[in-house]
Amino acid sequence: MAYLKRGVDQAGGKLPLFDLQGQKYPERTIRSCIDNGWAEPWFHNPLKPDWLVCKLTDSGRSVVAED
């Protein structure tokens, strides 16, 4: 939920790659959000192809609002 909440106030709903302590969010967390329809891939980063750059979906916004 913390991952999704961080996208609410970002332009376009961009979700962070790193948590507040500077640690990369686990791919498992990001993939789970994509699988549940709460996040979607935004674009492919050619400099870091293993990074999942995602944005919040309308469904993700609803889930955050319910929390």
Domains of the chain, residue spans: 2-66
Per-residue pLDDT of 33-67, as tens digits, reads 999 999 999 988 888 888 889 999 999 999 999 87
How much is the pTM?
Answer: 0.88
| Confidence bin at 19 (pLDDT 50/70/90) | very high
In 3D space, the residue among 20, 27, 24, 22 whose CA is nearest the CA of residue 2 turns out to be: 20
Distance CA 57, CA 55 (A): 6
